[in-house]
Structure 1
Amino acid sequence: MSTKTTWAIDPAHSEIGFKVKHMMFTNVSGNFTQFDATVETESDSFDNAKFSFKGVTDSITTGNKDRDAHLLSPDFFDAGTFPEITFTSTGFSKINEGEFELTGDLTLHGITKPVQLNTEFGGLAKDPWGNTKAGFSLTGKINRKDWGLNWNSALETGGVLVGEEIKLNFELQFIKQ
């Protein structure tokens, strides 16, 4: 019988980031500042690990107050109605040494859809206080319209103001409990 280990997120050393095209030619970056995540494992190799994540929608920041307010409005995330974004893994499979594919269900804007994230396992290390830490870099892409985030504005030159593809970029550090 195997023993389950829980790993808690270290929010001071983790980032939940995204990028989206603006006016078809530049990226706008943002992140969520309030989130929680855990991983359940049966070994330090993280084989078959179970990941879960919860983010506070109104903690979004892009460095621009007006844009952030628009993102929280019913045009986009509708944070008043949908205060959380969640992810629950359905699979974590090894591709190569240190490379995994994380699959799971992302709930955003009241809609749950499957997503796939490329995951790099950075390994394990002890910090100066004796805590065992694990590091992960996750990347992926989603189409915001799949979650009902449909607002846009046409440009006079053709094209649209906000791209549909959202690039996800997460740097996660977990502490063994």
Structure 2
Amino acid sequence: MNKLTLALAALCFTGAANSADYVVDTKGAHASINFKIQHLGYSWLTGRFNEFSGTFSYDEDKPETSSVSISIQTDSVDSNHAERDKHLRGDDFLAVDDYPEAKFVSSSVVPQDDGSMQITGNFTFHGVTKPITIMAYKIGEGEDPWGGYRAGFSGTTSFALKDYGIDYDLGPASQVVELSLHVEGVRQ
């Protein structure tokens, strides 16, 4: 889960010179939460979550005061295969009727020497809450053509399915989910 939440946290840390609040731009499809997991150790199964929302606060001068909150609608899982998505939504994996939302809420942001950020927080998934860490970096920020101001981040994290109570066995190479998050926020 550590790498999954890293990606989620990355979405929340776009910024301006002073502390500012942002809303993740999902309406314009300028953000994505993607996942991949090995299938039987032979190939990668990839997909995304199509419905999520989030906010973040970012201060370029004091990134350690930043925060992020992301909510994912688990029934929006999309692996580009209808039958597989039906299985992923079922009790073997996401159990979306019981756990319709996954959520990441940051607890700390630690700037790294290379310019990246280590974002740690609580990730609630499949009814279990555990700390995870997202390694994130800022893509850029500035004025947009519509009179607004935007900031973008990217991040990665990973977590073991068993840590969140999912024990469906696809073999030893298929136990860890990798997440990558790409987030563009609009300053409020």
TM-score by length of 2: 0.84
Q: Do residues 62 (structure 1) and 62 (structure 2) align?
A: no
Amino acid at match of 2:21: T
Give the corresponding residue for 1:35. 52
Query: Is 1:93 matched up with 2:104?
Result: no
Matching residue of 1:5? 20
Unaligned runs of 5+ in 1: 154-159
Residue 152 of structure 1 contacts residue 162 of structure 1 at CA under 8 Å; is this kept in 2?
no
Which residue in 1 is equivalent to 2:119? Answer: 102
- Kindly provide the CA deviation profile for residues 28-53 of structure 1, in whole angstroms up to 9, marking residues without a partner as x: 11110000010023x34461211000
Contact 1:106–1:113 under 8 Å retained in 2: yes
Identical pairs, percent? 29
Q: CA 1:45–1:69 in structure 2 vs 1: closer, same or farther (change >3 Å)?
A: farther
Structure 2 gaps of 5+ residues are 1-17
What is residue 182 of structure 2 aligned with on the other side?
Answer: 171
Q: Do 2:19 and 2:60's aligned partners in 1 also have CA atoms closer than 8 Å?
A: no
117, 121, 130: which is aligned to 1:113? 130
Question: Following the alignment from structure 1 to structure 2, what is the Cα–Cα distance between the partners of residues 62 and 174?
Answer: 25
Structure 1 or 2: larger strand share?
1
How many angstroms apart in 2 are the aligned matches of 1:10 and 1:46? Answer: 23
Give the structure, 1 or 2, with the largest relative contact order (CA under 8 Å, sep 6 or more): 2
* 1:161 to partner: Cα distance: 8.1
Distance 1:78 1:162, change over 3 A: farther
C-alpha contact (below 8 Å) 2:136/2:155 kept by paired residues: yes
1:131 alignment partner in structure 2: 148
Are residues 98 and 131 of structure 1, via their aligned partners in 2, closer, same or farther at CA, if it must alter by over 3 Å?
farther
Whole-angstrom distance in 2 between the partners of 1:22 and 1:126: 42
Q: CA deviation at 1:122?
A: 1.3
1:45-84 to structure 2, matched below 5 A, reads 45=61, 47=63, 48-84=65-101
Question: Structure 1 stretches (4+) deviating beyond 6 angstroms?
Answer: none
Deviation at 1:61, TM superposition (A): 0.3
Which residue of structure 2 lines up, in the alignment, with residue 157 of structure 1?
Answer: none
Aligned-partner residue type, residue 92 of structure 2: D
Q: Distance in 1 between matches of 2:48 and 2:120?
A: 21
Equivalent position amino acid for 2:89 in 1: L
Q: 1:45 to 1:25 in 2, by over 3 A?
A: farther
